[in-house]
Amino acid sequence: MRIANYLRPDCVALRQRADSLTGAVQQMVTLLDGTDNLTDTAVFAADVRARLALGGVCVGNGLAIPHAKSTAVRQLQLAALTLDPPLPCDTPDGKPLDLLVMIAAPAEANDLHVQVLAELATLFLDTDFCAHLRESETPEAFCRAISAREEQDAQEPPSDAAPGAAEPGYQLLAVTACPTGIAHTYLAAEALQQAAQARGLTLKVETNGAAGVNDELTEDEIQAAECVIVAVDRSIPLARFVGKRLVYSSAGDAVRDADRLLEKAVSGKAPVYRGGHAFRTSDWKELGREYYGHLMSGISHMLPFVVAGGIVTAFSILLQHTGAPSKWIMLMTNVGKSSFAMMYPVLAAFIAYSIADRPGFMPGLMGGYLAQMGTTTATQLSWISSGFWGTIIAGFAAGLVVQLLNHLFRRVPPELDHIKTGLLVPLLSLLFIGVLMLLVINPPLGHFNRWMSIKLSTMQGGSRLVLGTLLGGMMATDYGGPINKAAYVSGTLALVDLQYDLMAAVMAGGMIPPLGIALACLLFPTRFTSTERRSAPQTLLMGATFVTEGALPFALRDPLRVSPACIAGSALAGFITILLGCGCPAPHGGLFLLPVMENPPGFLIALAVGTLTTTLLLGMLKKPLKH
């Protein structure tokens, strides 16, 4: 693939001015509007802005690569823009933007835009070449420079001709990944490759990108390598690297200073990986982050069962109101309940899988099932589910016991390895989890859960109002972070126990921040930048559909004023939903759930009061911008 084939001079603009990243992107949309590749400029512009809101398009060294797949694009097309003066922006290395390349890809293009991103990462990582592009006098010269560079690269011998490449295997291995799996994944890979080539080292890089895993490392390559560099910004499986020297960093660090990572890798001082970053570094903070990551892995796999089951249950309630046949109502009800029944086994299974990889899945799944059933040595009539906490204990215990068994059996001869993996580890881990859950975890936690359920169901008046206020406020604390997730999980667990009022408080609390901010942009425009005001309709839509993260860009720019205003409005909305007896039978959907809610007018009142509170507080706390 050649970049020059997709970039035309009439889609290049040099030394332009822009007051914001959004404004610069809009200029490139206008350039593409002059071609016959866009069927609807407004739709494509909206798709680009939506992708821009997710972040990750600024890759450092003054370069940004905005991109979008859109139904309004006929064929892949690029646009380029240089800025003079450079645009101060929130970039990974703090350098202002002065070079942007936009990718417009058709919706059915699969991973084509990812391939282009990889090529751009390779091309624009060379700072001297980027400087040459910025100095281009005309768009034609800009395109000719890219074409000439690609022809030169095509004529160069492959990188495996470097010294040492004739030896079997690779001296070093690397893995790169970023949250979106696009720009930084490939920029980091290319930076490491170039640094290794300059040192005369052989290096293979596995990229975990949006299109999947490319150049996957084999078991033989891992065994032969001296060290592995893991440059990632999200969780990836690391069990295969146990026993190898490991250099761990972010993808951004690899882009900025790949040579430093290589120096550490070849120094012989990199620590041997023993099954976790935290244990490897004896860092308790890292230990907390690592195990929080395992927990969130389980929760992210569990939530689809809760969300889908809740919505199906809500449909069954809606069918009851419409007088539908009872068999359809029962079908919806049973499917929803069955989905809820799967949440605990799935949660525990994927916590264990995150810790111990595939061998942890089975004991984790069984531990979650035993927690969900509340199985003990007594008769089944006395079983009480140990619920969420029992499931979490089962998941972590299953993952850790599998790790322990693998360590104990590490000296098993290779010819007996199938007995270890196919019999000993599954059997012993299942027996351990069975004894743990039936004798130690389920009996006390089951009784505790019954006590908590009775307390919650009998909680009335002030105490219930306080709980609704607390949950509503927590939803606006970190906009999708740990506190927000804790409140959301609390609401979904209450939903399983048919306590719909707490889910209503959580739902209202999560909708208020983006709704309040969007309204403030309309009522107090002088308090917000032009970019923020343009994003108000999108933020309003996100609030209406219960996407709290719509408030995040505003909170990051001005946390000391935005966060208190959002928390106050959300807490008040949570209070009012409990006060007015609102109930929400599904964990997602926002305003679309009004037909199946208990007391919909009360829920709308809670939203209105909470939104106005956040809006007015923003108007008071934020000062007019100086122009």
Active site residues: 67, 178
Beta bridge partners of 105: 69
Residue type, 169: G
| C-alpha–C-alpha distance, residues 352 and 341, integer Å | 19
Q: If we measure between CA atoms, which residue out of 424, 433, 432 comes closest to residue 367? A: 433
- Where does 301-348 show beta strands of DSSP type E? none
Q: What is the Cα–Cα distance from 568 to 617, expressed in whole angstroms?
A: 9
For 67, the 3-state DSSP assignment is strand
Q: What is the DSSP string of 225-252?
A: -SEEEEEESS----GGGTTSBEEEE-HH
Residue 113's beta-bridge partner residues? none
Q: Quote the CA–CA distance of 580 and 48 in Å, as a whole number.
A: 41
Alpha-carbon span 385 to 442, nearest angstrom: 7
Question: What are the E-state strand segments in 71-150?
Answer: 77-87, 97-106
Q: Which whole-number Å values give the CA distances from 275 to 70, 241, 283, 430, 455, in the listed order?
A: 42, 8, 14, 21, 41
What's the CA gap between 543 and 337, in Å, rounded? 28
Choose among 564, 558, 559, 568: nearest CA to 610.
568
Phi, psi at 265, each rounded to 5°: -70, -35
